Amino acid sequence: MSFAGFLQGGFLAVYFLALGLLCLYGLHRYHLVYLRYRYRDRPPLTAPVRDWPTVTVQLPIYNERYVAPRLLEAIRWLDYPRDRLEVQVLDDSTDDTTLRLEPVIARLRAEGWRVTHTCRGNRRGYKAGALAEGLEQADGEFVAIFDADFLPPPDFLRRMLPYFTDANIGMVQARWGFLNGDYSLLTRLQSIFLDAHFLIEHLARHRSGRFFNFNGTAGVWRKSCLIDAGGWMADTLTEDLDISYRAQLRGWHFVFAADVIAPSELPVEMTSFRLQQHRWAKGSIQTARKLLVAVIASPFSWKVKVEAFFHLTNNVAMLLLVFFSVALLPSVLIRQSLGWQMAAWIELPLFVLAAPSAALFYVTAQRAAGVGGWCSLGRVPLLMALGTGMALNAARAVLEGWLGRESEFRRTPKHGIQTGADFPASKVYRGRLDAVTAGELLLSAYFLVAFVFAMAQRLYIPAPFLFIFFSGYAYVSLVSLRQNAGRWRAGRWQLSQDIPAP
């Protein structure tokens, strides 16, 4: 074999390895759907609460001028014994958010609420640092946490606390709802992604006895569980995932309360959505580096360990997807030049195992959320396109997390937006453009050319996938640019998402 043939054979070997690993992650999705159906009739137990315990409500806030006052107004309506409720406003803001909160806090205090407003003057440890300092002062036996863009319903605590049926239950997580799920195509697709996370992943993991995680907000912790797990730590970008695994490794049990829904606001800007996804992807890999060995070495069953592996490394599939998508057309052409047509019999079963898993996963979630089958099925190509378009952003996050590259915790900008007429053209907080946008534009051009070439050469099997890849990268990059058009200031793009208010 010539040297060129050797290189081509090596390329194909790496290509099939990537496809095979993607297939494993696809099979894992099938398994989660199976677990959801198998254990769907095992809802968690509740018990009547005769003596309501003391609860500390923690509200971590950083530059949230549009939504933080709204959150405090929602806290006013919590239906819970006033003498057994403490509210901590953990405010690290550097803009006028603090001033906007003061009249609402004064009203709460005048009505008899016990509210502390803590301004640290620094962001040491970011959100984890604020929660840790608040925990040291918390009087409650239980701790409820809400991000600034959430609106807990009045009966939230009365519905969550009955799930603490015994002393080894350390955390109860509510399901997220969406205040602006119909705002745009982007928010509609995000709501489907998150419905699948809660109604498939959380439900399957919890009810089958696997580990699952607190989502950083809309949950209630037993304070002793937080302390026993080692408290909040800021060495990953997903402090919620980190402490969830540390607590469960200590033997604490978690509960997913699927029937309790806490409405929240989805990011309406593509750059903000990408920022959020980057943080979640990088943080999950950081947590895997930190805790996966401990999970494997633990006395828990192999089922728990295998699920934890897929859970913590799930974003590696996005790195594999970037390579697979770029290599798809070259692999077809190389096989043709080498006469390896029989390799298609290896590739086709892997496609069948990997590709439809996403369709089944999201259609199942939408049916569980009450959306009709045909309607949910029609959204699958859009979901696949957006997921593909986010792959480069997630792949960078995976590499940064695995290589140990440190970065600050950048919160996702929220604007208090619920209708299409409220597009944030004049909003203070903005998402951030970066070099990944240029990479996405280049990939969209590459896949457009590849699709046209495949159609011209009658390569009809890879052509639909190439078109999906083109659509995804084009959508993500062009929407990012369109939403940031006209923001050229002082000879540069405005990149900061935390601009002090004027």
Q: Mean pLDDT, to the nearest integer, of 148-169?
A: 97
- How many CB atoms within 10 Å of residue 418? 17
Has residue 90 got a pLDDT over 90?
Answer: yes
Has residue 406 got a pLDDT over 80?
Answer: yes
Has residue 373 got a pLDDT over 70?
Answer: no
Provide the pLDDT for residue 497.
43
Provide the pLDDT confidence category of residue 482 given band limits of 50, 70 and 90. Answer: confident
Cα separation, 268 vs 7, whole angstroms: 45
Cα separation, 369 vs 196, whole angstroms: 9
Domain covering 55-267, topology:
Spore Coat Polysaccharide Biosynthesis Protein SpsA; Chain A (3.90.550)
Is residue 426 packed enough to be buried (19+ CB in 10 Å), middle (13-18) or exposed (0-12)? exposed
In this structure, the dihedral spanned by the alpha carbons of residues 469, 474, 476 and 482, taken in order and rounded to 10 degrees, is -170
User: Could you tell me where the beta strands, DSSP code E, fall in 36-83?
Assistant: 55-61
Helix (H, G, I), strand (E, B) or coil at 27: helix
Has residue 2 got a pLDDT over 50?
Answer: yes
Taking CA atoms, 323 is separated from 205, 392, 473, 478, in Å, by 29, 10, 14, 22
Provide the pLDDT confidence category of residue 500 given band limits of 50, 70 and 90. Answer: very low
Closest CA to 241 of 337, 187, 312, 175: 312
Predicted confidence (pLDDT) per residue in 259-291, tens digit:
999 999 999 989 889 999 999 999 999 999 999
User: Could you tell me where the beta strands, DSSP code E, fall in 355-472?
Assistant: none
Q: Parse the chain into domains and list their residue ranges.
A: 3-36+315-487, 55-267
Q: What is the mean pLDDT of the chain?
A: 88
Cα separation, 258 vs 304, whole angstroms: 21
Has residue 167 got a pLDDT over 90?
Answer: yes
Provide the pLDDT confidence category of residue 86 given band limits of 50, 70 and 90. Answer: very high
Cα separation, 327 vs 42, whole angstroms: 44
Predicted confidence (pLDDT) per residue in 94-111, tens digit:
999 999 999 999 999 999
Provide the pLDDT for residue 287.
98
Percent of the chain with pLDDT over 90: 67
More confident residue, 348 or 272: 272
Predicted confidence (pLDDT) per residue in 25-68, tens digit:
999 999 999 999 999 889 999 999 989 999 999 999 999 999 99
**Edge-to-edge order in the sheet of strand 253-264:** 114-119, 85-91, 55-61, 142-145, 219-222, 169-178, 253-264
Cα separation, 56 vs 312, whole angstroms: 30
Length of the chain: 502
Catalytic residues: 92, 240
Q: Mean pLDDT, to the nearest integer, of 239-266?
A: 97
Has residue 343 got a pLDDT over 70?
Answer: no
Has residue 297 got a pLDDT over 60?
Answer: yes
**Residue in the block written with tokens 């745009």:** 184
Provide the pLDDT for residue 232.
98
Cα separation, 238 vs 229, whole angstroms: 15
Has residue 198 got a pLDDT over 90?
Answer: yes
SS3 for 380-413 is HHHHHHHHHHCHHHHHHHHHHHHHCCCCCCCCCC
